[in-house]
């Protein structure tokens, strides 16, 4: 497949930022198979570690362009029309997840000084603001200049704008590094986790949230696709999207993080916060019911992985 097959997508500028990879991003293996083509994009599974990824996929520069603002995002995925306008998170699934992680961190961190947090891809700052309310000192980096300017003007936060790859951190300076919905957007997840490891003080926590493709939603969607002989693609089109590169299960995420020297502390399973997305009323109602069933079966479609850097 070449990037020319993206001609139906109304952002021509992104075509030149699609890159092919010859190795699995997780284990560097070369043995793989094509699972399906959805949204005119190829989904590949590594036969060695069973990691799934898109090939070709958007480069870091392409992702930066795509995530500059909601207007650009919605041209590729209409459901993301309000992605960055989700300012009021009170009583939301998102806020509950933030508080759950911060409460867990406070119980497990051993430090007499004010804890320091760094967030990669902070968006419009929801997690940073909640961390401040919980007594944290904060810092972070975000590719969107619009989001960085917003946080400086609206809240007076001195956060950084740029890419994580170009960021030169102070070694062992933080008690937490957080990547909320970031790792699925990079073709080189190891570099992100390695840098987070260097940034953390001994005993510090890495928090990494991403979709869980072993959840009930993916299982049912793919079963419908296969049983229909590939005719019914609508369900999997909602899950395998242009803006994602990697698709993780608890096992593949475990492999990524433990191979970089971390110890697993906890995996929280949760579900997509539907308030962040623009869905039809019918689809929204169906997803609410589906998420309730998935929760009862412990097959939710998101996971939050908390790992710890070993203490000296």
What does the pLDDT profile of the chain (312 residues) look like in tens digits?
Answer: 334 444 344 456 778 889 999 999 999 999 999 998 887 789 999 999 999 999 999 999 889 888 988 888 888 888 888 788 765 677 889 999 999 999 999 998 877 789 999 999 999 999 999 999 999 999 999 999 999 999 999 999 989 999 999 899 889 999 999 999 999 999 999 999 999 999 999 999 999 999 999 999 999 999 999 999 989 988 898 899 889 999 999 999 999 999 999 999 999 999 999 988 888 899 899 999 999 999 999 999 999 999 999 886
User: Nearest to residue 233, comparing CAs of 220, 248, 222?
Assistant: 222
Give the number of domains in the chain: 1
Distance CA 225, CA 232 (A): 5
* Domain assignment present for 276: yes
Tell whether 297 is covered by a domain: yes
Residue 312 has what pLDDT?
67
Task: Give the ranges where 109-214 is alpha helix by DSSP (H).
Answer: 126-133, 145-155, 189-199
Note whether residue 46 is domain-resident: no
CB 9 within 8 A of CB 241: no
Cα 246 to Cα 237: distance, rounded to the nearest angstrom:
15
Kindly state whether residue 222 falls inside one of the protein's structural domains: yes
How far, in Å, CA of 256 to CA of 25, rounded? Answer: 10
Q: What is the CATH number of the domain that holds 270?
A: 3.40.50.150
Rounded to 5 degrees, what are φ and ψ at 3?
Answer: -70, -10
Contact call for residues 68 and 142 (beta carbons, < 8 A) = no
Q: Does some domain include residue 50? A: no
Give the integer Cα–Cα distance in Å for 90 and 126: 10
Residue 79 within a domain? yes
Q: Per the domain annotation, does 258 fall within a domain?
A: yes
- Residue 29 forms part of a structural domain: no
Range of the domain at 299: 62-309
Beta strands in the chain (DSSP E): 18-19, 32-38, 41-46, 52-54, 57-58, 116-120, 137-142, 160-161, 174-180, 200-211, 246-247, 262-270, 302-309
């Amino acid at each position: 497949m070449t990037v020319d097959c993206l001609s139906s997508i109304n952002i021509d500028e992104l075509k030149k930022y699609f890159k092919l990879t010859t190795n699995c991003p997780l284990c560097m293996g070369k043995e793989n198979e094509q699972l399906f083509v959805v949204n005119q994009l190829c989904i590949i599974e590594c036969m060695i570690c069973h990691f799934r990824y898109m090939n070709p996929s958007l480069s870091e520069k392409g992702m930066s362009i795509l995530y500059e603002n909601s207007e650009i995002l919605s041209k590729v995925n209409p459901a993301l029309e309000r992605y960055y306008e989700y300012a009021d998170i009170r009583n939301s699934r998102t806020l509950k997840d933030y508080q759950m992680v911060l409460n867990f961190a406070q119980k497990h961190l051993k430090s007499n000084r004010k804890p320091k947090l760094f967030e990669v891809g902070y968006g419009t700052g929801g997690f940073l603001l909640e961390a401040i309310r919980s007594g944290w000192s904060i810092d972070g980096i975000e590719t969107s200049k619009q989001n960085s300017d917003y946080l400086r003007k609206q809240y007076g936060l001195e956060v950084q704008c740029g890419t994580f790859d170009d960021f030169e951190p102070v070694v062992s300076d933080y008690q937490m590094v957080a990547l909320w919905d970031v790792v699925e957007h990079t073709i080189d997840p190891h570099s992100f986790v390695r840098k987070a490891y260097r940034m953390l003080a001994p005993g510090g926590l890495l928090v990494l949230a991403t979709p869980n493709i072993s959840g009930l939603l993916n299982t049912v969607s793919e079963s419908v696709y296969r049983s229909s002989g590939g005719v019914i693609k609508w369900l999997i089109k909602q899950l395998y999207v242009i803006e994602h590169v990697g698709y993780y299960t608890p096992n593949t995420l475990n492999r990524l993080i433990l191979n970089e020297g971390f110890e697993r502390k906890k995996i929280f399973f949760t579900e997509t916060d539907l308030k962040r997305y623009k869905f039809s009323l019918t689809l929204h109602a169906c997803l609410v019911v589906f998420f309730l069933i998935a929760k009862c079966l412990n097959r939710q479609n998101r996971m939050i992985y908390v790992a710890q850097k070993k203490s000296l």
